[in-house]
Structure 1
């Protein structure tokens, strides 16, 4: 992949830019294997799940810079000035097609970009998610409600220019903090969730819902997990950190009980909506709770964990190590915390692993490991 912004030094986010994709992937596999070797010396590696080297991102987190009437959509430089990255080669074509009309709307409304050094302005970010069905969810991250009425009034114009947009919201983020969003979300369209069809499952993404950035590789991740689940033939599956239910809904099958646990009530509501709108898939339920402490009935034969970068931590690792679960599937975006957690579960042996290249052009990667119990819990 070639990028003029990288070559000119305007954006260095893609630290592997210029490295051939095959080499990027081989280096990632080698690093992951080296980190896990001390705690999983017999791990059998499946061929990695490859990604397109470019045009793979299904979501954009666009910092709004520039001035009212002349905004930039992209990132900020070290002085807080906007760098326009609407032509970035990482975005799916259908996602990139939304940037021009959104830019024109922001300019026409005169929405004042938030000036980070001066701590002044209104519009902080535009967050856009693109579905496999060619639809979008658009979020305006604002400092206050000052321009909310203007955005509402301009919605018909936006939806005429972008008829594929299904969900529009405003997020209020009044504080000067290095976080992406605030606590208040205001729906501006009747529809509040974006259908995301992955394989045979249609998930429902709300404005705050997490979904993998790379739809192609996310589909491979879910397929691999389902293959491992089906081979293990569990009666009861727990999906901890279930989010909007991706692993749980893929694992659902007649005669199998699946329980998803997630701390976000919005995500659980989205998972329940996807369950209600999907085909009958056996007994599936979603529970709001802390994945590290919440226990439900019945006890699991197999547990899927998909934690944030910090990993599952010592308490959940100890519980899993002593649990009745015969298998654990651990999906991780941080191989260092994965290695730490595997070391804390000596009764479970890592059998098989696979790298999923969610983020070409960067060193980040996802890895999933299948664990099998080798010792009976005391």
Structure 2
């Protein structure tokens, strides 16, 4: 099967042309059905029960799709998911696909953290530019208060808090962040090691370690260590509503995979995941204790947990200007709005302003400048999603 994707200027539609083997007979559009299998994947079924999966590079909305047939070919035209409805999807926003039992990121780029320049946070006053830069994570629609919880809006506000607190723009400066459930239970501790410059995406990235705290923790010393961290160290608590917690779990899998230099083992939890089982934490255990974790935690006098943490590359999640306006309306910077709290998290905003959970630079402009005037062709594996 050969699929050609085209993105047409000014119209956020994706078109896939799929070759169908029907023994030389003409394909009737009415005999073809289509089902959405993931945020980026759809499946078409012909009258003779032949199934073909199509993996698009962006989240799509099958409810507004159209089918057109030619001889032995079906053309599927489907719009990119509208930001106002994308948050209602239960699919993974940052999907990974398994190819020969190895996970691969679908919509976030791989990076080499060690090759990225370190941004000094010694002089916090010199980092006020981060405030305006990170404000572009929010599309104009997301700045208008809407009385419902938007998971990705909450994640973006929490990201602002993490970056600006570590940089010292928010006071007091801190490098340890606890993510708590709405019931108050800690599910993840995030340790930021460095702030780095992502030259490729023209943004910043937090070089950090993640410590999952699942129920029935696999780290016997974790409860005692967590109590010691909370008692003797400057720690910032971030309370997550249930939908935001799910979004964080999806993001954690992607950002640990994004910067890995280690190999997945034969006992990797993702192998069980491919069979439909549940991963015991948000990410596999293959990377635990690697990437000089011991030296970092020795300096913090937390040696006992270094073998349970995994390195991650945490970057901003910018809104996509060809889907909705970004930076056109008056900008409220993160510094003006202040750190996110429970009330602001629960207030929510509009739905996700991302096309594909993109991590990269934020841009703005007029409607004409935001038109996507490019044709992209992909020849992809269609059984990945």
Smaller-chain TM-score bracket: under 0.3
TM-score, length of structure 1 as denominator length: 0.28
Higher strand share: 1
Of structures 1 and 2, the one with the larger relative CO (CA 8 A, separation 6+) is: 2
TM-score, length of structure 2 as denominator length: 0.27
